[in-house]
């Protein structure tokens, strides 16, 4: 692990107990020269802070196993690994996001497993290993509504306790909420956080009836 002084490191911010590197941070600049995510995984999206805040109020069991789908830079997994000692696996279609995830994990002195896979191909056998499935800002195209809904269905059939997703409030996300509420125990909370700045949106929590 490189030495990291959380009070002196330039171009970092601290939020919900983790350190996040800003665009200007030299590690991010170096990564951007080599790895170019292509499916919107080029930055950390704000819904991840919403989900961290929600999880502060609705904590995971200690050392729970979780899968974060469409993980991008994996900050929610990093938060869960630090806050709950979670065993986290970040899954993304785009392998170019993983160097960012691993760099952030290293700065936060946690280890996150990663797997390159489209979320629509995650089997029940794979999902069954996890207590919780998480995702932030993953329902942003019309075609993703069906894919994410089916992922929720497979997860709950496989015995996952809950699927928790955060979103700024896109129409596609609300279509997903409407579909889930017909079949599953579904809570959709308007949510905000002030850390690291004011961010608002929604958190969807789905579990089996
Ligand atoms: C808007 S970004 C959000 C990234 C991260 N969750 C965050 O909040 O910072 C969407 C992420 O989902 C990934 N993604 C898009 N479609 C996917 C799919 N079908 N299966 C798995 N990952 C996907 C992208 O590569 C990208 O990393």
pLDDT in tens, 58-84: 999 999 999 999 999 999 999 999 999
Whole-number Å distance between alpha carbons of 146 and 120: 9
Taking the chain, what is the end-to-end CA distance rounded to the nearest angstrom?
44
Q: How far is the CA of 5 from the centre of ligand 1 (A)?
A: 30
Q: What is the 3-state secondary structure (H, E, C) of 7-49?
A: CCCCCEEEECCEEEECCCCHHHHHHHHHCCCCCCCCCCCCHHH
Listed in sequence order, the DSSP H helices in 95-167 are 98-107, 124-127, 142-157
Residues with CB under 6 A from ligand 1: 39-41, 44-45, 47-48, 70-73, 92-94, 97, 118-120, 136-138, 140, 147
Question: To test ligand 1's pocket by mutation, which of 70, 147, 155, 176 has the most ligand atoms within 8 angstroms of CB?
Answer: 70
* Cα distance between residue 144 and residue 138, in whole Å: 8
Sign of CA dihedral 101, 193, 84, 163: negative
Helix intervals (H) in 158-186: 171-183
For 138-179, the pLDDT digits (tens) are 999 999 999 999 999 999 999 999 999 999 999 999 999 999
Residues 172 and 141: beta-carbon distance below 8 Å: yes
Distance in angstroms (rounded) separating the CA atoms of residues 113 and 50: 22
The answer to whether residue 25 scores a pLDDT higher than 50 is yes
pLDDT for res 2: 44
Best of 28, 31, 41 to mutate for ligand 1, by most ligand atoms within 8 A of CB? 41
Label residue 181 by pLDDT band (50, 70, 90). very high
37 CA: nearest ligand 1 atom: 25
Which residue CA neighbors atom 26 of ligand 1 most closely? 41
- Cα 178 to Cα 84: distance, rounded to the nearest angstrom: 30
């Amino acid at each position: 692990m490189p030495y990291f002084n959380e009070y002196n490191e330039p171009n970092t911010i601290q939020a919900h107990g983790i350190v996040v590197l800003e665009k200007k941070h030299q590690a991010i600049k170096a990564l951007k020269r080599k790895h170019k995510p292509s499916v919107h995984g080029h930055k950390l999206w704000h819904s991840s802070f919403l989900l961290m805040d929600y999880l502060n109020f609705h904590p995971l069991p200690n050392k729970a196993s979780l899968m974060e789908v469409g993980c991008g830079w994996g900050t929610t997994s990093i938060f869960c690994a630090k806050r709950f000692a979670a065993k986290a696996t970040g899954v993304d279609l785009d392998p170019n996001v993983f160097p960012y995830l691993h760099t952030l994990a290293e700065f936060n002195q946690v280890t996150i497993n990663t797997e390159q896979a489209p979320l629509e191909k995650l089997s029940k056998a794979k999902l069954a290993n996890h207590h919780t499935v998480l995702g932030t800002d993953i329902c942003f195209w019309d075609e993703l509504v069906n894919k994410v809904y089916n992922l929720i269905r497979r997860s709950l059939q496989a015995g996952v306790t809950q699927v928790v997703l955060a979103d700024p409030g896109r129409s596609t996300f609300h279509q997903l909420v409407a579909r889930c509420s017909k079949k599953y125990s579904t809570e959709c909370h308007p949510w905000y956080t002030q850390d690291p700045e004011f961010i608002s949106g929604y958190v969807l929590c789905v579990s089996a009836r």
